[in-house]
Amino acid sequence: MIQWRITVFLLSLLPLAAMIWGAFHGNLGANPVEALSHESGSWALRFLLVTLAITPLRRLTGWRRLGLLRRMLGLFSFFYACLHFLVWLWLDQEFAWGSMLADIAMRPYVTVGFLSFLILTILALTSNMFSMRRLGLRWKGLHRLVYAAALLAILHFIWLVKVDLMQPLIYLGIFVLLMLLRLPRNVVMRKPRRIVKKQVVT
Amino acid sequence: MGLYRYGRIKPSEITDRQVWLKRRQLIKAGMAAGAGLLLGGMNGQAVAALAGPGKNRKISLAGESTYGSDLVPTEYEHITTYNNFYELGYGKEAPAENAAALKTRPWSIKVSGECARPGVMDIEDILKLDQEERIYRFRCVEAWAMVVPWAGFPLGAFLKRFQPTSKAKYVEFETLYDPQHLPGQKRTVLDWPYREGLRIDEAIHPLAFMATGLYGEVLPGQNGAPLRLVVPWKYGFKNIKSIVSIRFVEKQPVNSWQATAANEYGFYANVNPDVPHPRWSQKRHRVLGKGVFGSKEDTLLFNGYAQEVAGLYSGMDLRKYF
Ligand code: HEM
């Protein structure tokens, strides 16, 4: 498993490498700041969805060790979100605090992006063993906020697009699919099972 | 080849070059012209500032214009690879990739409506009109900007050929509608064809311009070939591309973006740092091609052309008529 984790760790750094390489080779086009913002934001969302895919994948494949990758992938989502936030803070807004606060308060797409980022921050800070032990049962409840973080990030994307909603809607579709894959055990399959049981009993 | 005047005349190339050299001397004052050329050889930006890349036919300029000789043009490569032209695709690079889908020959522009001499003008005849160069600032509503050395002619003089009547209060422009070829028109992201409009006094203002080229060469498809509008004191979306129709009308036209989201995009769309867009504050903008750090600058009222155009809007509430 350790080789697996190292491989996934290194693969997860590739987007960062591409961004750094692009920035230093002038490969990011006419508007490199926008390119960095789009790349980091997209990867934050992709890692978040991959993280959410682990549980259903584990269930489908029966490969329980997949769960060991989940925290790392979640932290990579947070890592790219931090990068995305930093690009905005530094390269886009140039630390103009007044205009940043105004953006967060007045531009809905920034508001929801910021909320998503806040949630990811809280989840990252409490992703360690110490917090898990201290929070006990509440930990699970708190980390269910990851669904809200993903949905807010997708809403962020939908609201920032001018006309072509194709990309954010694809992400939304993936998110909905991942949510549906969580349903079967609790909702869809329970009823037929009970009926079968009853028939056997009577 | 023989069809195009600018394709035949060779001496014009020399004039073109001299114009550029002079400008570069102004820009890089103190730098010897020879050194500038040497530098140009090593650095793409400087080469592009001397002339276009030679990809397209040259346009012969009738005379040197003084517009914007103090501005440093954005690199040709950036001007032609970062475009909003949804007819050719929705991403910034898509229009350059799909430019071949736009067939610019044969091409004619229909001028109609409230005018004494309506007519259809072929692009070849339009290209025979005197062309001049103007270096203008360009500011997109999405808070990015560039400096473009356009080639073309003043819109006012062109419109007057068709003798607009007193009923001609506005001018409406339309882009080519050709969903069979233009990939972006296959989906209704906008109500095609793209439409724009100007008040008649805006249209005949000396700064209002019809562009046939940039960097001394005919426009590439992604920049709105073969003919596009340039109104430098307004947001980029007013600068309608690949025009096929011009109509003089009495009532204020509804432009495409206004039809899509009237609370976000108005008819006037004058560059104004004090009137925020719901998505972009408009106080500052990023200049294309200036790298990652320090590429932002303050946005000026009417994009820096207030002295010339503010009079058009005296007494108007620019927050209401945004
Ligand atoms: C701190 C809060 C955040 C701010 C201020 C912020 C700001 C921005 C900005 C300015 C853009 C570019 C908008 C444009 O091009 O017009 C953007 C795009 C984007 N952001 Fe965020 N964002 C935040 C949080 C997040 C988070 C947490 C995620 C994902 C988990 C995210 C995902 C995205 C995505 C996917 C895009 C679109 C990329 C594309 O167009 O290809 N953002 N964000």
- CATH classification (class only), B47-313: alpha beta
- Range scoring the smallest mean pLDDT among A172-176, B6-10, B112-116: B6-10
Instruction: Note down the domain range covering A153.
Output: 2-188
Beta bridge partners of B234: B270
Is residue A6 situated within a structural domain?
yes
Is residue A194 situated within a structural domain?
no
Q: How far is the CA of B293 from the centre of ligand 1 (A)?
A: 19
Residues B103 and B88: their CA atoms lie apart, in Å, by 12
Across A116-135, average pLDDT: 96
Task: State the Rg of chain B over Cα.
Answer: 19
Is residue A201 situated within a structural domain?
no
pLDDT category at A16 given cuts 50, 70, 90 is very high
Number of domains making up chain A: 1
Residues B28 and A66: their CA atoms lie apart, in Å, by 60
Residues B249 and B111: their CA atoms lie apart, in Å, by 11
Q: How far is the CA of B86 from the centre of ligand 1 (A)?
A: 22
| pLDDT for B51 | 72
Given CB atoms, is A200 within the 8 Å cutoff of chain B?
no
The domains of chain B are located at: 11-40, 47-313
Residue B148's closest CA among B32, B239, B31, B58? B239
| pLDDT for A54 | 95
Across A81-104, average pLDDT: 93
Q: List Cα–Cα distances, A172 to A110, B119, B176, in angstroms.
A: 18, 50, 34
Give per-residue pLDDT as tens, B29-40.
333 333 333 333
Across A189-195, average pLDDT: 47
- Range scoring the smallest mean pLDDT among A91-95, B211-215, B250-254: A91-95
Predicted model pTM: 0.84
Is residue A200 situated within a structural domain?
no
Q: What average pLDDT does chain B have?
A: 85
| pLDDT for B2 | 33
Q: Distance (Å) from the C-alpha of residue A162 to the closest C-alpha of chain B?
A: 9
pLDDT category at B159 given cuts 50, 70, 90 is very high
- At residue B117, does pLDDT exceed 50? yes
Q: Considering CB atoms only, which of A91, A99, A109 is closest to B292?
A: A91
pLDDT > 90: what percent of chain B?
A: 74
Q: Which is more confident, B189 or B299?
A: B299
Q: Which is more confident, B279 or B98?
A: B98
Long-range pairs of A96-104 with CB within 8 A, sequence gap ≥ 24: A99/B281, A99/B283, A102/B281, A103/B281
Return the residue of B nearest to A91 by Cα: B293
Task: Report ipTM (2 d.p.).
Answer: 0.82
| pLDDT for B279 | 86
Is residue A197 situated within a structural domain?
no
- At residue B21, does pLDDT exceed 60? no
Amino acid at B105: R
